[in-house]
Amino acid sequence: MTSARDFEDVIIVGAGPIGLACAISAKRHGADPLVVDAGAIVNSIVHYPIGMNFFTTPDLLEIGGHPLACSGQKPTREETLKYYRGVVRSEALRVRTYTRLEAVTRESQALRCELKDRRGVHEQRCGRLVLATGYYDHANLLGVKGEQLPHVSHRFDEAHRSFGLDVVVIGGKNSAIEAALELFRAGARVTLVYRRAELRPTVKYWLKPDIENRIKAGEIAARFGAEVLGMDDAAVTIRNAEGRQERLSADRVYALTGYLPDFDLFRRIGIALDEETGRPHCDPETLETNVPGVHLAGSITAGRATSEIFIENGRFDGDRIFGAAVDRSPRGHKA
């Protein structure tokens, strides 16, 4: 495991694509950051559905100018995992995995971080902190009974495990539709439950007719305009569009109702948030928050609008943070 120094100039929290890109920018601007992650490196991609293809072309997922090779037009989950491992190795980034940032306090000129790993909680002082913590490990919970049961998941893993089972998919955006279709094609009996009366026009143009035709043909059951009331070992209980309670048999439940940044962590650190949008206050030039020395990067900068900043448009945030603070020269290297 990468060992930390008594005092770190820069700590980057989150070894997602954006956190890693920030670490490369920091290095290219003369710092040697420590990157910590609560899980593995690129832990969000680790939790993508197995075998998933990105919708982004490989060039737009690249960081630090390292080429991403893939066998098809779009990279798979597995190809990107390999890619980001390679980038960490070839940039010799100092990464500590399975280490979660719990809290930050100010101690005269330094920031004191509480980091938790399997051995316990320890303190680490640093000069600057970059949060690139994403949103994928904070599901937007329904807040109903039974949501934490072991057969209920807030991330779709793979369809194969559900062959021959009754599966309820909750949600109506792309991830829920994609999961419902894959589950159906893998031999699950699928019911899609969505709170709106119809699908939104933002559903991917190739998914929309596919799901609508499957529903029309009775191959996938659907309950639109439905409210989820709770779950137990055997079923999901809903109030359907007609106002009647209904129990939908469920061996497995995928509650794919979106994700949110860890607002509690931001509040504990003292970062001001816009009440309505959840957008953290930060300087658009340097991404520094109202807490001096604490910057934000990547998807979390957009608050609740989690689909606004993704890999392709977030991967240069490190240049804004470190370019502005360490090297203002117009010839300063851009990753």
Q: Which residues bind ligand FAD (CB under 6 A)?
A: 13-19, 36-39, 43-44, 48, 54-56, 100-101, 132-134, 136-137, 175, 262, 265, 298-299, 310-312, 314
Minimum Å gap between C-beta 298 and ligand FAD is 2
Residue indicated by tokens 């991330």: 155
Return phi, psi of residue 28, to 5°.
Answer: -70, -10
The residue type at 212: E
Q: How far is the CB of 150 from ligand FAD (least distance, A)?
A: 21
Nearer to ligand FAD among residue 37 and residue 166 (C-beta): 37
Task: Say how far apart CA 245 and CA 137 lie, in whole Å.
Answer: 31
Question: 3-state DSSP call for residue 288?
Answer: strand
Who contacts 78 (Cβ-Cβ below 8 Å, separation ≥6)?
51
Three-state secondary structure call for residue 320: helix
Of 147 and 262, the one with the shorter C-beta distance to ligand FAD is 262
Q: Smallest gap, in angstroms, from Cβ of residue 205 to ligand FAD?
A: 16
Give Dmax (Cα) for the chain.
66
Report the 3 state secondary structure along 266-279: HHHHCCCECCCCCC
Q: Which is nearer to ligand FAD, 133 or 191 (CB)?
A: 133
- Contacting residues for 16 by C-beta, under 8 A, at least 6 apart: 37, 42, 43, 44, 45, 132, 133, 134, 298
Instruction: Quote the tokens at residue 52.
Output: 């998933």
222 or 265: CB nearest ligand FAD: 265
Please name the helix (run of DSSP H) or strand (run of DSSP E) that holds residue 84, with its range, or none: helix 77-90
Least separation, in Å, of the C-beta of 36 and ligand FAD? 5
Nearer to ligand FAD, 93 or 226 (CB): 93
Q: Kindly state the smallest distance separating residue 134's Cβ from ligand FAD, in Å.
A: 2
Which lies closer to ligand FAD via its Cβ, residue 63 or residue 222?
63
The distance of closest approach from Cβ of residue 48 to ligand FAD in the complex, given in angstroms and rounded to an integer, is: 5
Sign of CA dihedral 89, 95, 99, 101: negative
Task: Work out how close the CB of 308 gets to ligand FAD at its nearest, in angstroms, rounded to a whole number.
Answer: 9
Where do the H-state alpha helices sit in 91-237? 174-185, 207-216
Q: Which is nearer to ligand FAD, 146 or 314 (CB)?
A: 314
Token pair in block for residue 256: 């794919």
Q: Could you tell me which residues come within 8 angstroms of residue 52 by beta carbon, excluding any fewer than 6 positions away? A: 76, 77
The residue (of 18 and 287) whose beta carbon lies closer to ligand FAD is 18
Give least dist CB 328 to ligand FAD, A.
25
